[in-house]
Structure 1
Amino acid sequence: MRILLAEDEKELSNALTMILKHNNYSVDAVYNGEDALHYLDAENYDAAILDVMMPKMDGITVLRQVRAQGNTVPVLILTAKAEVDDRVLGLDSGADDYLTKPFAAKELLARLRSITRRQMEIPGNLLNFGNLSLDRSKYELSSSAGIVRLGNKEYQMMEMLMGNPGQVISTEHFMERIWGYDSEAERSVVWVYLSNLRKKLVSLKADVQIKAARNQGYSLEKKS
């Protein structure tokens, strides 16, 4: 999953970025409201974390403009303001959830899972297709033949494939959502990770396969 983090305190932003990446999220970090709005206009994110008090444009203004444009990206508001009226303002402006500082990393991750789960309409933490299950809380792929733990980018690719079975996902889309807007990685890295995933599907005796559509992309299909 790809997250936009807008937080002007750079030490906190760096810490949150590390926590999110450790938990298998791709993160684009910005430090003011204008950049946050620009990134949300230009890119497709699975969720956004917005601080309220930011330079150039506050988080509530960013949120209102995003919603006015019809963007339904799940948004978690972060703020030091804990008054009821402040929480109501954030939620009424279109936030999906609201978290006051200081907060525990576990709570941030739980709230992020909650708002993205609602957006994706996936009950619980499991994605299922064929004889495979992907545990979104443990980053494990399993079948009756066993369990394998996936690395960060492997997990994100498998989540995209299992969340959209039968749908062709282009190399460019994998690059954008997983490696990020400013990545200098070569496109061939997608093939390398998919090759590793194919080997893991074989080890799990999966009844599904990752198929390549020439000049289009890749899809997860049931074996015929």
Structure 2
Amino acid sequence: MQRTGEGQRVLVVDDEPAITELLSTTLDLAGYRVSTVGSGQAALHAVANERPDLVILDVMLPDMDGFALCRRMTEGGHTPPILFLTARGSIEDMVTGLRIGGDDYVTKPFHVLELLARVHALLRRSGKATGQVLRSADLTLDETRFQAARGGQPIELTPTEYKLLRYLMVNAGQVMTKEQILHHVWQHEFGEGVVEKLVSRLRHKIDAGRSPLIHTVRGFGYRIAEL
């Protein structure tokens, strides 16, 4: 399976265990960070606290109609793209879902490759996928030019350094473990020392003589400061 994700957070709201297991496994393999909840109230709590980059939402939930939940989410301060994934496939339901704030509407049964393509498209349109300029304080990473700069001064990076910096910036504020970095940057099993050496080289280029942006969280991993 092609890895289209770069660690973006996806919240799956569905009370069918088979669906949540399928989506969680599929999206995780595609490179996304996935959390699942089975009720509307749990979804509201997750959106407020986890601030997902995208929500996959069923219409038929045990405690709340998915359309009503969508309205409540779009009224809040953090409004991620919403992809309805439901067995209710009438034109009227589809129109309702899109009219009240949904960004896409997929009916069950569905093909996982189509769903992944729609997820990637929604994240791209929302600026959470490739092709944007990532920022952390005065550090920028232009994904179209593969160019980093701090304070307007270009920083030359190797492809591996670029990949690590991008991974940290996409997940700004989040702690990335050495295991996650190993899997994302190399997709092979190496000793943890290789991560430490790469982070050290990147720090020398990014933070030398400046306020540090890359931080070590001892016993856990590394994070880069948020915007």
Aligned residues: 180
The correspondence of residues 168-183 of structure 1 with structure 2, limited to 5 A, is 169=172, 173-175=173-175
Instruction: Give the secondary structure class of the aligned counterpart of 1:56.
Output: coil
Tell me the residue number matched to 1:111.
118
Tell me the residue number matched to 2:143.
127
Instruction: Give the secondary structure class of the aligned counterpart of 1:27.
Output: strand
Contact 1:198-1:210 within 8 A present in 2 as well: no
Are positions 1:22 and 2:10 aligned together? no
Tell me the residue number matched to 2:224.
218
TM-score after normalising by structure 1: 0.65
Tell me the residue number matched to 2:15.
8
Per-residue CA deviations over 1:187-215 (Å, capped at 9, x if unaligned) read xx36983962863997xxx9x94544486
Greater relative CO (CA pairs within 8 A, separation 6+): 1
Contact 2:131-2:144 within 8 A present in 1 as well: no
Q: Quickly say closer, same or farther: Cα 1:210–1:112, change in 2 above 3 A.
A: farther
Distance in structure 2 (CA, Å) of the matches to 1:74 and 1:30: 17
Are positions 1:199 and 2:195 aligned together? no
RMSD: 3.8
1:32 CA displacement: 1.2
Distance in structure 2 (CA, Å) of the matches to 1:123 and 1:192: 19
Per-residue CA deviations over 1:29-51 (Å, capped at 9, x if unaligned) read 11111111111122211111111
Distance in structure 2 (CA, Å) of the matches to 1:14 and 1:124: 30
Instruction: Give the secondary structure class of the aligned counterpart of 1:106.
Output: helix
Per-residue CA deviations over 1:139-164 (Å, capped at 9, x if unaligned) read xxxx997789x7xxx6xx73452x59
The correspondence of residues 62-73 of structure 1 with structure 2, limited to 5 A, is 62-73=69-80
1:218 CA displacement: 2.9
Q: What are the ranges of 5 or more consecutive residues in structure 1 without an aligned counterpart? A: 133-142, 179-188, 220-224
Counterpart amino acid of 1:127? Answer: E
Counterpart amino acid of 1:3? Answer: V
Counterpart amino acid of 2:198? Answer: K
Tell me the residue number matched to 1:54.
61
Distance in structure 2 (CA, Å) of the matches to 1:123 and 1:146: 16
Tell me the residue number matched to 2:94.
87
Distance in structure 2 (CA, Å) of the matches to 1:144 and 1:210: 10
Tell me the residue number matched to 1:135.
none
Distance in structure 2 (CA, Å) of the matches to 1:30 and 1:77: 15
Distance in structure 1 (CA, Å) of the matches to 2:95 and 2:214: 50
Contact 2:52-2:80 within 8 A present in 1 as well: yes
Structure 1 stretch 113-122 or stretch 62-71: which is displaced more? 113-122
Are positions 1:158 and 2:146 aligned together? no
Contact 1:51-1:59 within 8 A present in 2 as well: yes
| Percent of aligned positions that are identical | 31
Per-residue CA deviations over 1:160-184 (Å, capped at 9, x if unaligned) read 52x59xxxx4xxx213xx7xxxxxx
1:8 CA displacement: 0.7
Distance in structure 1 (CA, Å) of the matches to 2:122 and 2:106: 12
1:127 CA displacement: 2.6
Q: What are the ranges of 5 or more consecutive residues in structure 2 without an aligned counterpart? A: 1-7, 133-141, 149-155, 183-193, 217-222
Contact 2:94-2:105 within 8 A present in 1 as well: yes
Contact 1:46-1:74 within 8 A present in 2 as well: yes
Alignment match of 1:75 (pick from 74, 82, 87)? 82
Counterpart amino acid of 2:35? Answer: D
